[in-house]
Amino acid sequence: MDLEKIKASLDLEAFKKRNISLAKYLPFLPIKSPADFISLNEMATPLLKSKQLSTQLDINLYFKVEGKNPTGSFKDRGSALEVTMAKELGAKAIILASTGNMAASCACYAAVARMPCYIFVPEGAPMNKLAQVIAFGGHIVQIKGTYNDAAKLAQTVAMQMDFYLAGDYAPRVEGQKAAAFELCDQFSFDPPDVVIIPMGCGTNITAYAKGFAEYKALGLIDKIPQLIGVEATGAAAIVHSFNAQLHSITPLKGAETIASAIAVPDPIDGVKALAAIYNSKGLAIAVSDEEMLQAQYILSTQEGLFVESASAATVAALFKIVQDPIFAHKKIVCVLTGDGLKDAGVIFKAAINPPTIYPQESEFIRLYESQFFTGKQMIFSNKNQVLFQHTPTLEELKVALKNILSADYEPHYLEKIKVNLDKILQKGKDITVFDLQNCVQNALVNLREVSYPVFSVRDYEVTTGKGRLAQAFVTLHLLGEERTGRAEGEGPVYALINAFHMALGHKMEFELKSYQFDIRTEDNKVTAHVELKLTRGAINAVGRGSSPDLVHASIEAFDEAYNIFVSHLL
């Protein structure tokens, strides 16, 4: 951009007084016709003063809440510019690679411009973000590979088919630099001392650096903030170079982090990001997944801000840097790049799901008085950490739950959790944090107790194969009587349910009203959580089970539900 030309054509004093919006910065953007700018009337995203953390950390802390952009992330300023340029250039379509946020943003602005939009995403991109793409009419192609594999393919296709290649390239920097302009305007042209920004491809921190530099060159501000870039420890190519004081990037073999928005092994703008950090005398910091989850939880519970895990990386980094007294009393901004609803799945991976009770006042009071709500609802420890290699005593279990969840469950719950842990230990496995989470989940998810078990599954056998129905044989124990049943089904679980029907007979008949399962994974560990509901007339019974084996988890769920079911019939 020709800043001298801009300065000569702009009344800077009048410019300062204009309302803050993306349209305000059109003179700084490389477009031919401002009147044809593709826009959704983007206004300033909130700059919020910290309610709690400022006092706790002894700093002057603000949050730039980018999740309030039209599609819920910081990508929208860049997408508005890129789609406008694509239209001006007469491109047949827009194509790009994305981990999710840019995909949703480009699809949205392409829809406004009435242009086709094709998006390559690596397998495993969050479905919340892909749902936005589909809703806006974008065309998704999943790539078996990393983000960088998707980016290379998008570039090749763009050149071959005369599509506009959107993404983390020079034009996007021009659009996203407006966030720095906006921040300066919100601080009445007295910029903060420090700005902390998440880094995936490194484009956003590059854009902030360019925006601050242009405002300073125009005389609108007199200093450039110190820029601190944050990566996940499992995708920290820029941080590795910074720590070695290099000006080049060595790509990683892969990216291992829950924060999908910054899971980039080979950042396209990594060299520019390093320059932005060096030139501002800034820092590059890596934070773990556990630190991001903790920061995400603190932001939500103390500041009322639900952001995606990649956004919370800035707050996780903040907790590290404030240990240095040089940051005391500084005016610091954490850029929160995306709304928490963008990638809510990570919450469920770390959370203890809510308990389920029957609609009776006594059940809630019992739950309330048991201190159930005093602990945390999420786990922030390393899921692979070994806790027990033997059956813990109730006191050992109590201490572990206190340390990990700040929970103080009553003995009744501890006994149920201990029974679940024993099942794992009996298979010759150590108990990890991941196992404890699943056992707590299984023990507390259904609090209705049966006075005595009247039903149990003694044994079962399921066989299946290609091109044939599954077959199941079950041996049950009901009210002191042994029963057997054999049946077929369109899958192992439904073959079992049909076998239960055959074994239980007409007097104890039931209807399977619902069946749901959730698969949780952590490294090479897999746990299936099953919930099923049995009904008969006005009787409803919900059971849950948890096991590495989906069929066994289904048996546990049926066992629990049917005991409740029978207790109503007797």
Which backbone phi and psi does 484 adopt, to 5 degrees?
Answer: -130, 155
Average pLDDT over every residue of 358-387: 80
What is the CB-side half-sphere exposure of residue 274 using CA atoms within 13 A? 19
Q: Of the ranges 76-80, 348-352, 432-436, which is most confident?
A: 76-80
Say yes or no to pLDDT of 451 above 60.
no
Residue spans of beta strands (DSSP E) within 273-355: 283-287, 331-336
Predicted confidence at residue 444, as pLDDT, reads 62
Predicted confidence at residue 217, as pLDDT, reads 95
Asked if residue 338 lies in contact with residue 261, where contact means CB atoms within 8 angstroms, the answer is yes
Q: Provide the token pair at 442.
A: 């299984």
Using alpha carbons, list the distances in angstroms from residue 362 to 62, 354, 544: 44, 18, 21
Structure confidence by residue, pLDDT tens digits, 544-559: 888 888 898 899 888 8
Q: Where residue 523 falls among pLDDT bands split at 50, 70, 90?
A: low
Count of other CB atoms within 10 angstroms of residue 278: 14
Structure confidence by residue, pLDDT tens digits, 75-93: 999 999 999 999 999 999 9
| DSSP conformation class of 513 | E
Q: Where residue 445 falls among pLDDT bands split at 50, 70, 90?
A: low
Residue spans of beta strands (DSSP E) within 271-375: 283-287, 331-336
Asked if residue 96 lies in contact with residue 103, where contact means CB atoms within 8 angstroms, the answer is yes
Whole-number mean pLDDT of the chain? 90
Of 364 and 278, more confident: 278
Structure confidence by residue, pLDDT tens digits, 180-235: 999 999 999 999 999 999 999 999 999 999 999 999 999 999 999 999 999 999 99
How far, in Å, CA of 204 to CA of 24, rounded? 20
Task: Name every residue whose Cβ is closer than 8 Å to that of residue 69 and which is 6 or more positions away in sequence.
Answer: 42, 45, 75, 76, 77, 105
Predicted confidence at residue 452, as pLDDT, reads 53
Q: Provide the token pair at 30.
A: 């490389």
Give the domains, in start order, of the chain with CATH numbers: 31-43+73-169 (3.40.50.1100), 47-69+173-347 (3.40.50.1100), 351-444 (no CATH), 455-569 (3.30.160.270)
Of 239 and 7, more confident: 239
Say yes or no to pLDDT of 375 above 80.
no
Predicted confidence at residue 351, as pLDDT, reads 78
Q: Where residue 350 falls among pLDDT bands split at 50, 70, 90?
A: confident
Say yes or no to pLDDT of 372 above 90.
no
Say yes or no to pLDDT of 521 above 80.
no
Structure confidence by residue, pLDDT tens digits, 123-159: 877 777 788 999 999 999 999 988 889 999 999 999 9
- Report the DSSP beta bridge partners of residue 547: 528
Give the three-state DSSP class for 195: strand
Using alpha carbons, list the distances in angstroms from residue 78 to 38, 103, 105, 126, 511: 11, 12, 9, 21, 54
The residue with tokens 């305000």 is 24
Q: Where residue 423 falls among pLDDT bands split at 50, 70, 90?
A: confident
The residue with tokens 């104890």 is 508
pTM: 0.81
Residue 365, amino acid: I
Asked if residue 227 lies in contact with residue 220, where contact means CB atoms within 8 angstroms, the answer is no
How far, in Å, CA of 100 to CA of 90, rounded? 26
Count of other CB atoms within 10 angstroms of residue 334: 31
